[in-house]
Chains A and B, each alone.
Chain A
Amino acid sequence: MAKGVKPRVKVPKTASAGEMVTLKTLISHKMESGQRKDSDGNKIPRSIINRFTCAFNGKTVVDVEMLPAISTNPYFQFDAVIPEAGEFHFTWYDDDGSVYETKKKVEMA
């Protein structure tokens, strides 16, 4: 597992049924592109997060395939509809096989 990976998400704590909310996610990750060279001229191997998913009560909101052109500390902002109270489930998949997860509950206002 890459060091210092810390997912951060911004989700409203409450929402009314059927409301559209904007979610923001950020995860600290180096996102080594595989294009850079170290001081000896050797290529630094690629090490990125290649997939991000967000689901609400098991229903997919977005599923993003990421390539090396995504910046360091990948940031995403998108919208979701909240039909009922439940839980957002955010998952990031690293090239090295590690999976980073975080969950956020949303209650009805």
Chain B
Amino acid sequence: MEVTRRDTMAIGGAAVISTLIPSISVASTNDLILGVTGGADAATSGIDLTAPEIAENGNTVPISVDAPGAVAVTILAAGNPLPGVATFNFGDGAGSQSATTRIRLAGTQDVIAVAKMADGSFAAVSKTVKVTIGGCGG
């Protein structure tokens, strides 16, 4: 089989993307979590984040978090121009420490949820969402 220019580009492009993206997003994901916890380590259990694996439209991606015992949950989007999304503070009247909302994602990236528990510890979880059409204008 003859290797065309198009093939070479496709292979090269895929290789670059696969080597670059994981390293960048992993580093910044950890940094973002540490930014919320103030440097403290976050547990990986005790919080649940539901997000679609593939979102066709990045303008409105439904997500839910559930963190029993949390006083606050911060949502972050690692690949957005501004990573902050929202912070839910749960009060005495809350029936459960869970919430659902819709967020904007600029492209395929990790969505992170960090919960601050009542005892001052933290729990974090992240989930990769593939986005077909980004939602930040630009």
Which residues of chain B are near A22, meaning CB under 8 Å?
A: 95
Q: On chain A, which size bracket covers the interface?
A: 20 to 34
User: A-B pairs with CB below 8 Å: how many?
Assistant: 113
Q: Is the interface of A mostly helix, strand, loop or mixed?
A: strand
Which residues of chain A are near B84, meaning CB under 8 Å?
A: 67, 69
CB distance A35 to B136 under 8 Å? yes
CB distance A70 to B82 under 8 Å? no
Interface residues of A in 56-104 (CB under 8 A from B): 56, 59-72, 74-81
Partner of A79, one of B61, B89, B98: B98
Point out which of B60, B98, B102, B136 has the most chain A C-beta atoms below 10 A from its C-beta. B102
How many Å lie between the Cα of A75 and that of B101 in the bound state? 5
Partner of A71, one of B93, B95, B98, B103: B103
Interface flag for A9 (CB, 8 Å): no
How many Å lie between the Cα of A16 and that of B26 in the bound state? 47
> Known: A33-B104, A33-B136, A60-B92. Contact between A67 and B86, CB under 8 A?
yes
How many Å lie between the Cα of A20 and that of B97 in the bound state? 12
Q: Which residue of B lies closest to A21 (CB)?
A: B95
Interface residues of B in 80-123 (CB under 8 A from A): 80-82, 84-96, 98-105
How many Å lie between the Cα of A107 and that of B64 in the bound state? 29
Interface size on B, residues (CB 8 A): 33
Interface flag for B137 (CB, 8 Å): yes
Interface flag for B59 (CB, 8 Å): yes
CB distance A59 to B86 under 8 Å? no
How many Å lie between the Cα of A48 and that of B135 in the bound state? 15
Interface flag for B13 (CB, 8 Å): no
How many Å lie between the Cα of A54 and that of B137 in the bound state? 31
Interface flag for B12 (CB, 8 Å): no
Which residues of B are at the interface with A, using a C-beta cutoff of 8 A?
59-61, 64, 77, 80-82, 84-96, 98-105, 135-138
Which residues of A are at the interface with B, using a C-beta cutoff of 8 A?
20-22, 33, 35-37, 54-56, 59-72, 74-81
Cβ-closest 6 pairs across A and B: A60-B91, A36-B137, A79-B95, A20-B95, A77-B100, A61-B93
Give 30 A-B contacts (CB < 8 Å), ordered by A residue: A21-B95, A33-B136, A33-B137, A35-B137, A36-B137, A37-B137, A37-B138, A54-B93, A56-B93, A60-B92, A62-B99, A64-B86, A64-B89, A64-B99, A67-B82, A67-B84, A67-B86, A69-B86, A69-B104, A70-B86, A71-B60, A71-B61, A71-B101, A72-B59, A74-B101, A76-B100, A77-B100, A78-B88, A78-B96, A81-B93
